[in-house]
Homo-oligomer: A and B are copies of this chain.
Amino acid sequence: MNLTIKDIADLAKVSVATVSRVLNDSDKVKPETKEKILKIIRDYGYKPDKIASSLRKKKTGIYGIIFSVKGGRVLEDTYSTKFLKGVLTFLSKKGLKLIVDIHESQDILEYYKNIIKSKVIDGFILLDIRKNDKRVELLKNENFPFVVIGRNDENNFVYVDSDNVSGAYIAIKHLKEIGCQKILYISGNEGIPVSEQRLSGVKSAEKDLKLRIDIEYGDFDEEKTIEILKSILKRGFNYDGVFCASDTMAYATIKFLRGLGIEVPVIGYDNIPLSEFIELTTVDQNIIKIGYSAAEALHKLANGEEVMSLVVPSKLVKRKSTLSFTTKHI
């Protein structure tokens, strides 16, 4: 049989109200009685029932994140785990919990709605945000706390995003530093925010650093990258540096060019595990930090605090794919 607050009250010869007060360290309790109660709580190993407490307080201390099985983060890549680790690092420090869930993408709105009404979580972290995301509309209507990872055009919400602009900028800057003058940038899909942000960083670096940078639009993947390179080769490949919007593209680039005997500095984006292996210089988004900050923001939001959106800086991880060229170029 498990102890309840009533049992503790009886043992301490006080009322449940007083025990409840020390449990939530309300100040209006005499130090002596507080000590007495705490001792009994310790001696008997009493822990309050969080479900009962949640029902009363209308707060559970549990937050939620839903991974889409199709079309979004699938909870299979290292992004997901690193992100989770960041989130959990914050939450566990505060004694808070996280419900991780997955869902097929169809009736996703209904799914969110059910979870909200079931009252088990205090707030959501939203992944894979899209333009005119219906979830944002729903959560705002329900006045339910949430934090978005990434941005869209509206940004009528609190978000935590990677600083793609400066991330791309520092990559180009590094190419310049090792002596590159005419650079090829293979972008991600046109029209999606991440691509536009990275492209914008590339363009401002081009201006600031007085470089010549050609832009090609890829799709973050290998095949398209190789297509692009092939068509460039027809008119002659005369770049002394390549920057790609993803590590996958960078990998494809190196492999393809090497097959043709062309060796040129290449930088990728994301720092996926493969990149360490092939020693690819790349932009690391600091995903753990993003997760941590998102959890922190959500918790504040759920407690009625004012919260600002946040852009987390990335850092360049320098490896052989550029460093091995430093001597040649200088």
Contact = CB atoms under 8 A, between A and B. Distances in A.
Nearest to A120: B50
Interface stretch (A15-23, A78-86, A148-156, A307-315): A78-86
A67 B89 CA distance: 11
A231 interface: no
Interface string A111-128: 001100111100000000
Nearest to A277: B274
Given A2-B117, A51-B119, A118-B49, A88 B101 contact: yes
**Interface size, A (range):** 35 or more
Contact of A274 (B2, B48, B52, B274): B274
A306 to B, nearest CB: 25
Nearest to A82: B76
Given A47-B117, A85-B75, A120-B51, A98 B100 contact: yes
A55 interface: yes
Contacts of A2: 117
Contacts of A52: 55, 119
Interface in A32-86: 45-52, 54-55, 60, 62, 67, 74-78, 80-82, 84-85
A103 interface: yes
Nearest to A251: B277
A232 interface: no
A48 B119 CA distance: 9
A110 to B, nearest CB: 10
Contact of A273 (B75, B85, B274): B274
Nearest to A142: B2
A77 to B, nearest CB: 8
B103 A92 contact: yes
B47 A51 contact: no
Contacts of A88: 67, 75, 100-102
A317 to B, nearest CB: 17
Contacts of A215: none
Contacts of A97: 99, 101, 120
A95 to B, nearest CB: 9
A49 B89 contact: no
Contact of A101 (B48, B74, B98): B98
24 contacts: A45-B113, A45-B117, A46-B117, A47-B117, A49-B55, A49-B117, A49-B118, A51-B55, A51-B60, A51-B120, A52-B55, A62-B120, A75-B81, A75-B84, A75-B88, A76-B81, A88-B101, A89-B102, A92-B102, A99-B100, A100-B100, A273-B274, A274-B274, A277-B277
**5 smallest A-B Cβ distances: which pairs?**
A47-B117, A50-B118, A88-B102, A100-B100, A49-B119
